Structures are given as C-alpha cells and as structure tokens.
Amino acid sequence: MTYSPQDKKPSNKEVKQLIEQHTKLIHTDGIKVISHVQRESDDWFINTLMLENIQVPFKYKRKKLYKSLKGNRVNITYYPDSENILGFDIEIMKIIRIKIS
C-alpha cells in the first residue's frame, strides 16, 4: 500500500530549507509511533518505526542505541525508497530527521 501524506507546510525554518533544497522530502508533524524496533547491523543500529494509520515502515540509522519512541508523537522528515528483500521490492520511507513533538 502506497503512503501519500497530507500536504502540510512545516513551521520549522530548518525543515522548510531542507524541503526547498530537496524536493523529494516530505515532512509530517505530530504522528504517533505504534511500534519501534532497533537491531544492530555492523557498527549501526537500524531503527524501524510503524506509524499510526500507515502501512509502510519508516527506517533510520544511529550509531548508539536510542530510547524507545513507542507511544510518542514525532515530527519526521523523510523520503520514499524501496528495499529488496529476498527478491521482493518493499516500499519503505527513509527518515533523515526525527524529533519528539
């Protein structure tokens, strides 16, 4: 299922600049995290979020273990991408900026 966000203008100046420079970026404010899973891969922790009313996983990497975001509302800036798992292309969203709202 493809995720199509509502068109919202971000209020943060930094986010506005990012979106102007990179037209594929999407920003969403105050969305609730339903599931947050962290797993180690080499020197990185791969974080996967599932968000309220969205069927597509959101992913980002960190060098350190991060506190669980489950149940929190977050502001995220991301772009659509795909990941090949066992020959299947799976739609994902790559998070480039995340903050608890």
pLDDT band at 48; cut points 50, 70, 90: very high
Residue 14 lies in a domain: no
**Domain limits for position 91:** 34-100
The pTM score is 0.78
Residue 57 lies in a domain: yes
Task: Please give the pLDDT value at position 3.
Answer: 47
pLDDT tens digits for range 54-75: 999 999 999 999 899 999 999 9
Task: Please give the pLDDT value at position 2.
Answer: 45
Residue 62 lies in a domain: yes
Residue 20 lies in a domain: no
pLDDT band at 30; cut points 50, 70, 90: very high
**CB neighbour burial string for 46-82, b if at least 16 within 10 angstroms, e if fewer:** ebebebeebeebbbbeeeeeeeebeeeebbbbbebee
